[in-house]
Structure 1
Amino acid sequence: MEPLVAPGPPLTPDQVARYSRHLLLPDVGTVGQRRLRAARVLVVGAGGLGSPVLLYLASAGVGTIGIVEFDEVDSSNLQRQIVHGEADVGRGKGASARDAIRRIDSSIEVRVHELRLAPRNAANIFRQYDLVVDGTDNFATRYLVNDAAAVAGVPYVFGSIHRFDGQVSVFWDAAPDGRGIDYRDLYPDPPPPGTVPSCAEAGVLGVLCGVVGSIMATEAVKLVTGVGDPLLGRLLIYDARAMAFRTVTVRRDPGRAPVTEVAEDYEVLCGLPTPPLTVDGDLEPEEVRELLAGDGPVALVDVRERVEWDIAHLEGATLVPVGGVLDGSATGDIPRDRPVVLYCKTGERSADALAVLRAAGVSDAHHLRGGLDAWIRDIDPSLPSY
């Protein structure tokens, strides 16, 4: 594929010394390095995948790096988000990543877009760049990135991680030679809500982010310089436990309509509730505490997984993982002779379980709004958070 970016000005003597190992590669050389210096690359997310991508793009000499990030650094991020350190906890991730990039190369132009990517702003931001690298961790934003990139006419590198597994591909709806393909050709429809837990719920091997993020950065460098064969039309799948890679072919869906605007409600598309989650049966942490302190017995049911229970759980609770509630195999384990309060980490899984119990005739059932996170925040900060 032709290089994505035209060469910039000739390299200075200092730049020749700095990038000499690139210049010695016949496929890169001085012209390829000048393309990298002239490139404008946007990284969506400065988290687990964004961290190695940002560090390697900076080290590779990409001249302009944009960062879309609105979140703050939390101590739980440090296990995998290597662009941040202990001193950055509580800081904005965008500012923290910017400082890390400048420590590598102070000449790089770093643009921090400290905002939540949304249909109203995504395409306009993408048009400012030659290439987008998507390091997000939820389906709603992935579909948004895909559609915004299609409208802006720019390619993007996709990556995802889950526990021990990773995926990488390149999507470009307007690719030359009829090679156009996008995320909707791989995943026409999002998975049902609750079937794919987030990293906060399922966990992720920290070093997996480094492997997948490095591959994403490699694809970005290849696209900018025109080196090699990008993963356009192919999905790379990595299994860290087996230490195995494989690729599968992704073909354009002939029935898919071209994306012409970014106007969809992506959270609705993916079945996500609009925060704050509200369902019939919500109880705030203080209401749950009062109920537990009352005269009558209360069944407190933890619907998380065993590994989460082992980290922290509420005293007096019984563990009934949500899968057994949703498929009906564990509904018999839920008492019906007393009030039932369900809880999970954030309130989403317990809300799903509550709906099933209500449908099964358990009328005096409730759930802890905001989950264990809200309980720790409002009632008992001594419990460990994760």
Structure 2
Amino acid sequence: MGGGGGDGRSKELERLWAERDELDARIRLLESELETSSAAPASPAGEDAAAAGVGDGGCVGGGGACQARPGLAHADSLPADMIYRYSRHLLLPDFGVEGQRKLSRSSILVVGAGGLGSPVALYLAACGVGVLGIVDGDDVELNNLHRQIIHQEAYIGRSKVKSAADTCRAINSSIKVVEHHHTLKPNNALEVVRKYDIVVDATDNLPTRYMISDCCVLLNKPLISGAALGLEGQLTVYHHNGSPCYRCLFPNPPPVAACQRCSDSGVLGVVPGVIGCLQALEAIKVASDVGEPLSGRMLLFDALSARIRIVKIRGSSPACTICAENSVFTQEDFQKFDYETFTQSPMSDKTAPSLKLLPESARITCTEYKGLIDKGEPHVLLDVRPAHHFQIVSLSRSLNIPLSDLEEKLPMLETSMKETLDASAASDKQPSLYVVCRRGNDSQSAVQLLREKGFHSAKDIVGGLQSWAHDVDPDFPAY
């Protein structure tokens, strides 16, 4: 017969194999549900796992991919599919079958699907956690992708939680992934966190760190906390085996100026990757009761020198207002607590309020400034961003003097003003002075200083280069 007939039989065979695989999966699912319904009453810990969707055989109810058929193996052994998938885990004497079994029965919540949360979620999914919860209220942006490796370009503009969950399911279809499409806040945190055994803080802002820690203390959950900024990172395990909570170490928030974010100070993409991997490791150790978690110790990572230090931190503080025995902080108090006011910083940099240090007469909008350029008005444009920001992008003919150096470099500004005056046709009129920065905050501080020093014509450009890109020139590079 001709080759066409052979191709037809091959396609038919492929179709039948696919149908059989689908039937096998449905059979395994039904077997799993029957075994779960007929099982003896579980222990309290088992009840928590069952409520989160983890079956008695170490598999997630509904996944079915790792459920063994009756009679093929000893009743206490792992299902055949799990043995093959996690065989490299099982070969480890210090982890083995029992470690994998405990991990597959655990439920872990990852708060944040960004630079830290990406490797955490990826590895927890791949390693076989029973239930993986992901909570995040943001969407994927292009400037996320250099560090948030769980997302792809195709997901830009779409939910981070959806993107992360889809990737985790593609890695391991046998686990249950729960999507929480919102930002964690005091009014919803207790409801979400109480469903999980372990919490991983993969966020990047101070009020959320306090909130998550307080929530974990109230619900008695261990907290795997990591941070990454610039070229450094740190990691510890709070509220576990006698270790302190976040408030034990930091009863009062640090000054706002000391709390930087990646969007302000930058971060090398691989740094949160390193810390996130270590967070996943600590979560697995806590879930499987293997090894020594970083309880009472903090790991400090310096990417430039390739140094890792482990420092001992003090235990729980008897004076802590949250975790001490005599604490009166209740769940009701938690839900009413204003963490943004407490820390004087926002939970999201997208909601960060702009400073208003100057009267309206000392400010000018980007569109108004563009009109002055078009009219050819003589002026000096002072850019007070740091020098390495100025190298990224700048407006034409701007003078860069960083805010931190401004007072000592006023003579440079005076020289520029004089040169502009000499080059002007109307040499009897003092040129105007306009000040710009990235977002319109540092420029206001600069105008205050300049006016005190005698530069009375100095005006702030509202919203800085960010507003310029938004309101005047859409092709101007934003960062």
| In 2: Cα distance, 1:149 partner to 1:359 partner | 49
Identity of aligned residues (%): 40
What is the DSSP-based 3-state SS (H/G/I as helix, E as strand, rest coil) of the residue aligned with 1:112? strand
2:338 to 265, 271, 277: 265
Q: How many residues align?
A: 377
| In 2: Cα distance, 1:296 partner to 1:243 partner | 52
Q: After superposition, give the CA deviation of every residue in 1:58-114 in whole Å (9 maximum; x if it has no partner).
A: 011012111111222122111111101222222221111111101101222222222
Q: Which amino acid aligns with 2:56?
A: P
Matches within 5 A, 1:10-29: 10=57, 11-29=78-96
Distance change >3 Å, CA 302–CA 146, structure 1 → 2: farther
Higher RCO, 1 or 2 (CA under 8 Å, sep at least 6)?
A: 1
Contact 1:5 1:130 in 2 (8 A): no
Distance change >3 Å, CA 140–CA 339, structure 1 → 2: farther
Name the residue aligned to 1:46. 113
Q: Which amino acid aligns with 2:382?
A: V
Name the residue aligned to 1:225. 288
2:252 to 175, 189, 192: 189
Matches within 5 A, 1:39-118: 39-118=106-185
Worse-matched range after superposition: 345-354 or 98-107: 345-354
1:161 to 214, 228, 239: 228
Contact 1:376 1:383 in 2 (8 A): yes
Q: Which amino acid aligns with 1:200?
A: S
The answer for unaligned runs of 5 or more in structure 1 is none
| In 2: Cα distance, 1:357 partner to 1:186 partner | 40
Aligned-pair CA distance for 1:287:
3.4
| In 1: Cα distance, 2:133 partner to 2:454 partner | 52
Name the residue aligned to 2:19. none
| In 2: Cα distance, 1:136 partner to 1:332 partner | 43
Does residue 317 of the first structure (1) align with residue 398 of the second (2)?
yes
Worse-matched range after superposition: 118-127 or 46-55: 118-127
Name the residue aligned to 2:319. 255
Q: After superposition, give the CA deviation of every residue in 1:338-373 in whole Å (9 maximum; x if it has no partner).
A: 654433333344345455556667655443443322
The answer for unaligned runs of 5 or more in structure 2 is 1-43, 50-54, 58-77, 324-328, 418-429
| In 1: Cα distance, 2:261 partner to 2:248 partner | 23
What is the DSSP-based 3-state SS (H/G/I as helix, E as strand, rest coil) of the residue aligned with 1:100? helix
What is the DSSP-based 3-state SS (H/G/I as helix, E as strand, rest coil) of the residue aligned with 2:470? helix
Contact 1:5 1:39 in 2 (8 A): no
Distance change >3 Å, CA 26–CA 318, structure 1 → 2: same
Contact 2:206 2:345 in 1 (8 A): no
TM-score normalised by L of structure 1: 0.87
| In 1: Cα distance, 2:339 partner to 2:456 partner | 33
Name the residue aligned to 2:41. none
Does residue 9 of the first structure (1) align with residue 56 of the second (2)?
yes
Contact 1:73 1:92 in 2 (8 A): yes
What is the DSSP-based 3-state SS (H/G/I as helix, E as strand, rest coil) of the residue aligned with 1:194? helix
What is the DSSP-based 3-state SS (H/G/I as helix, E as strand, rest coil) of the residue aligned with 1:123? helix
Aligned-pair CA distance for 1:334:
5.7
Instruction: Say which one has the larger Rg.
Output: 2
Contact 1:5 1:224 in 2 (8 A): no
Worse-matched range after superposition: 79-88 or 265-274: 265-274
Aligned-pair CA distance for 1:56:
0.4
Distance change >3 Å, CA 20–CA 288, structure 1 → 2: same
Worse-matched range after superposition: 232-241 or 65-74: 65-74
What is the DSSP-based 3-state SS (H/G/I as helix, E as strand, rest coil) of the residue aligned with 2:151? coil
TM-score normalised by L of structure 2: 0.72
| In 1: Cα distance, 2:147 partner to 2:343 partner | 26
Q: After superposition, give the CA deviation of every residue in 1:239-288 in whole Å (9 maximum; x if it has no partner).
A: 11111111112113343322624243222333337644251356443233
Q: Which amino acid aligns with 1:382?
A: D
Q: After superposition, give the CA deviation of every residue in 1:11-30 in whole Å (9 maximum; x if it has no partner).
A: 32111110111112223222
| In 2: Cα distance, 1:155 partner to 1:217 partner | 13
Q: Which amino acid aligns with 1:304?
A: R
Does residue 137 of the first structure (1) align with residue 230 of the second (2)?
no
Name the residue aligned to 2:467. 374
Name the residue aligned to 1:210. 273
Does residue 122 of the first structure (1) align with residue 189 of the second (2)?
yes
Aligned-pair CA distance for 1:183:
1.5
Distance change >3 Å, CA 369–CA 27, structure 1 → 2: farther
Contact 1:159 1:169 in 2 (8 A): yes
Name the residue aligned to 1:305. 386
Q: After superposition, give the CA deviation of every residue in 1:279-338 in whole Å (9 maximum; x if it has no partner).
A: 13564432332354456444433222222211111223222223335xx54566666966
**Larger helix share, 1 or 2:** 2
1:350 to 440, 443, 452: 443
Q: Which amino acid aligns with 1:267?
A: E
Does residue 243 of the first structure (1) align with residue 243 of the second (2)?
no
| In 1: Cα distance, 2:454 partner to 2:179 partner | 51
| In 1: Cα distance, 2:199 partner to 2:449 partner | 40
Distance change >3 Å, CA 193–CA 227, structure 1 → 2: same
